[in-house]
Amino acid sequence: ETGVTQTPRHLVMGMTNKKSLKCEQHLGHNAMYWYKQSAKKPLELMFVYSLEERVENNSVPSRFSPECPNSSHLFLHLHTLQPEDSALYLCASSQDLSDTGELFFGEGSRLTVL
Amino acid sequence: TQLLEQSPQFLSIQEGENLTVYCNSSSVFSSLQWYRQEPGEGPVLLVTVVTGGEVKKLKRLTFQFGDARKDSSLHITAAQPGDTGLYLCAGLLDSNYQLIWGAGTKLIIKP
């Protein structure tokens, strides 16, 4: 496989459920990101990891919990979500944080919270 | 708050027509990127512009970075149904590695 792979592609969960989104990159990149994409809104940066260390947490509610066990894998753990959290969650990677910022995205995980 | 405004938000035109999408800000960017996102997919980088006044061409797509590096445009000549998608611009500020994103232009090209 090449590029950035996200699973699952679709997820429906109740507000009391606990689930996780997974992202894997095969590009040898050092930085990984979680973005939230809602219709007609700019992409919202949620978390940034560089060399497995979290460098950014943009005021994201604690019901979202990231995990980066190594430079190729990134998880987003979800618990007690709200309906307004329904969105497309995109994982991305870049060679480093300090480059031109060119991102390689996965296909996204479409989350619906009931 | 830095904003990157894209216009139009939505555009539906016939195959063969030309169109221009705009991306404007009051901030100065060190570089600006254009991405295209097709339904069910993640955004894919089309081009990065770095120098004020720079023009880059990608087949029928022409990208321009404003002289002051505050704005950019994407012009498509003789649009094809395969050009359909969500076009996103994103700017990088000198002081920060975080990209500032526009809300996107949804483009539909009808056969």
What is the DSSP secondary-structure string of B78-111? S--GGG-EEEEEEEE-TT-SSEEE---EEEEEE-
Q: What is the pLDDT of residue A17?
A: 87
Which residue in B33, B40, B102 is closest to A107 by CB distance?
B40
- Tens of pLDDT along chain A (114 residues) come to 569 999 999 999 988 889 999 999 999 999 999 999 999 999 999 999 998 888 877 789 999 999 999 999 999 999 999 999 999 999 999 998 866 668 999 999 999 999
Instruction: Indicate the Cα dihedral angle B98, B99, B100, B106, nearest 10°.
Output: -150
Taking only the tens place, the pLDDT of each residue in B10-69 is 999 999 999 999 999 999 999 999 999 999 999 999 999 999 999 999 999 999 999 999
Q: What is the rounded distance in angstroms from the CA atom of residue A110 to the CA atom of residue A49?
A: 22
B9/A40 touch (CB, cutoff 8 Å), yes or no? yes
Instruction: For chains A and B, count residue pairs whose Cβ atoms are closer than 8 Å.
Output: 54
Spatial CB neighbours of B107, under 8 Å, sequence gap ≥ 6? B11, B12, B13, B19, B21, B76, B79, B83, B84, B85, B86, B87
Q: What is the pLDDT of residue A84?
A: 95
Asked if B89 has any chain A CB less than 8 Å from its own CB, the reply is no
Does residue B96 or residue A20 have the better pLDDT? A20
- How much of chain B exceeds pLDDT 90, in percent? 90
B42/A102 touch (CB, cutoff 8 Å), yes or no? no
